[in-house]
A and B are shown apart, each in its own frame.
Chain A
Amino acid sequence: MLSIRQINKTIGDFSLSDVSLEINPGDYYVILGQSGAGKSMLLDLIAGVKKTDSGTILFRDRDITTQSISDRKFGIMFQGDSIFPHKTVSENIAYSLSHLSKSKRNQEVQKLAKTCGVESLLSRYPDSLSGGEIQRVVLARTLAMKPDIILLDEPMRSLDQHYKFQLQSLLRTLNREGQTFIHVTHDYQLALTLSNKLGVLHQGKLIQSGDTRSLFNHPANAFIAAFTGVKNYFEIENRAHKAEINLSDDIRLSVPEDLQHKDKLRIIIAPEDVSISAEEVKPHGIVFDRFNDQSGEILVVQLKSIRLYALGKTDLNLSVGQKVRVKISDYRMTACE
């Protein structure tokens, strides 16, 4: 559907280099990256806000690289508030429907407002709306132009959790109904919740892309692992090429036969697969930190050369600085390419 081939763009001392993407109909493609990674610039190039220095953008096999923003049928929701403040909600939604008769336009506005849950706000001005309501109005207005692809630039950045969930649910519904999305964000949890495809952008380069689940399971390097929320990610030299490898001191993991000849191995351990007990039996470590996240209490255990994140058990009343025993029940091992 949309094929972005090796596009480049330099503004000042920042460059977007050789970015290539393939978007298929019905995809929810999330471009994940830190602030300043070039996400918004990439979205601007796709939307036609900025022109590429080189590379090609094909839509349905037609070259649209030089087409202007108004000629591409991509709806864009810019970062920040892009509602027209001098128009009512109804006038905002109807902005792209000026070619329709008044009655048809009203019908369409009602339909879109209902889809986005803003039908009770139609006569209101934006200054009386909450951030979540504004984003749903903007989405309804974008849908009114019947876009082939909707481009979202951090639409949830300043929203409260409640409004975030509302908007996420709406986006998923629209995606299930066949709407294609390209969404840029810095929030990996959002990416995991919404996308079926994911690309990680770092310093202007797309460093990994592919199916969301597989990217989260197989991050290509430590940066992507850290950025996508993988807590226990290790790259270990395998010079001995034996059936076992040392993770740290007494913690030895078995290496599958097909990986034994590889020089470097990647190991990912889920926090729930690290069990901790209050015994001073080797292999042991020291509780370095403890905090709560959505899955429960996380214990950070310092071993000699690594730190391990473990999902704590509620009956263990461990304190920071305490010696604990560490056992790893499961892990994923792959070769570093």
Chain B
Amino acid sequence: MPKYTNIGFNVLFALLGALVLLFIVAPLVSMFLHTEFPAMMETVREPEVQSSIKVTLLSAAFSTLFFAVAAIPFSWLLARKQFVGKTFLQALIDLPIVIPHTAAGIALLGFVSRDTVLGQMAESVGLSFVGSPLGIGLAMAFVSIPFLINAARDAFAAVPKRLELTARNLGASPFRCFFTVSLPLAWRGVLSGLIMMFARGMSEFGAVVIIAYHPMTTPVMIFERFTSYGLKYTRPVAVLFIIVALVIFYLLRYFAKPKHVKHTANQ
């Protein structure tokens, strides 16, 4: 009979894991339990809440898709090419994660406000970054784009280089090679990065509140209701937003599953 001497070790690690899980789950469960159903339904029907959720989701989605067009090819470059200053560049990309997001918002505001070149150029074509969904999207993208770039870079790096070389050897142009080999093979990692960017974007408060208090995103609304009316009045909005986020992420993960059915050798 073999001796399982690692039982104590496993139990200890499981207990530590349970503590971490409790730390994550307990506040959320408590919030759900303290939210009354009639109050929730009333919140669902509030046009202000509906509008904030819509603004949050759309701004996060559009900013993710818009910046992905440039960020994904850039990630391939970071995965495949060696150049001077690459390490510095990687650190620069991670900067929005480490700086306070209010500081990020202020930096961004100084870059796109009406008295800057970019702000004036936008104004000349009838656009404004400050106090608009455009600005919200910019703030969301600024703080969340490292998640996409890092995930996509790792995914491209994991694609065997010989497959790209094979495609080039078979006569594919660099573009065809990228779209038919590199991107499809890295797609799960890239998609994961897109989901993370979207998620991080929609939960952003600090940068968004600086650049656009209105139209109100849901995180800003939660803050505004908390400071104006207190915890009880804020909970239903927070719970509703968490439910919406959970449903969306479940659906995104579900549709991100690999599509082709594996054929077994015996078939």
Binding site for B on A (CB under 8 A): 47, 49, 68-70, 74-76, 78-80, 82, 84-86, 95-96, 98, 124-125, 127-130, 141-142, 144-145
Contact = CB atoms under 8 A, between A and B. Distances in A.
B85 interface: no
Interface residues of B, number: 23
Contact of A49 (B165, B172, B263, B264): B165
Contacts of A76: 165-166, 169
Nearest to A70: B168
Contacts, number: 62
Interface in B153-179: 160, 162-163, 165-173, 176
B267 interface: yes
Interface in B224-267: 260, 262-265, 267
Interface of B: 160, 162-163, 165-173, 176, 180-181, 184-185, 260, 262-265, 267
A78 B184 contact: no
B162 A70 contact: no
Given A49-B165, A78-B162, A78-B165, A141 B170 contact: yes
30 contacts: A49-B165, A68-B168, A70-B168, A70-B169, A70-B172, A70-B173, A74-B169, A76-B165, A76-B166, A76-B169, A82-B160, A82-B163, A84-B163, A84-B181, A85-B185, A86-B184, A86-B185, A86-B260, A95-B170, A98-B176, A124-B263, A125-B260, A125-B262, A128-B263, A128-B264, A128-B265, A128-B267, A141-B170, A144-B170, A145-B170
In this complex, the member of B160, B162, B185 whose beta carbon has the largest number of chain A beta carbons within 10 angstroms is: B162
A96 B171 CA distance: 6
* A76, A129, A142: most-surrounded residue (chain B CB, <10 A): A76
A76 B265 CA distance: 27
Given A84-B181, A86-B185, A128 B262 contact: yes
Given A84-B181, A124-B263, A125-B260, A70 B171 contact: yes
A125 B168 contact: no
Contacts of B165: 49, 69, 76, 78
A68 B174 CA distance: 12
B35 to A, nearest CB: 45
A76 B260 CA distance: 28
Contacts of B184: 86
Given A74-B169, A80-B160, 16 more contacts: A70-B169, A75-B169, A76-B165, A78-B162, A84-B181, A86-B185, A86-B260, A95-B167, A96-B171, A98-B176, A125-B260, A125-B262, A127-B263, A128-B262, A142-B170, A145-B169
Contacts of B163: 82, 84
A127 B264 CA distance: 8
B71 to A, nearest CB: 22
A149 to B, nearest CB: 12
A281 to B, nearest CB: 60
Q: Which 8 A-B pairs have the closest CB atoms?
A: A128-B263, A96-B170, A78-B162, A82-B166, A70-B168, A86-B184, A124-B263, A69-B168
A95 B176 CA distance: 10
A130 B111 CA distance: 57
Given A70-B172, A78-B162, A82-B162, A130 B185 contact: no
Nearest to A48: B169
Contacts of A84: 163, 166-167, 181
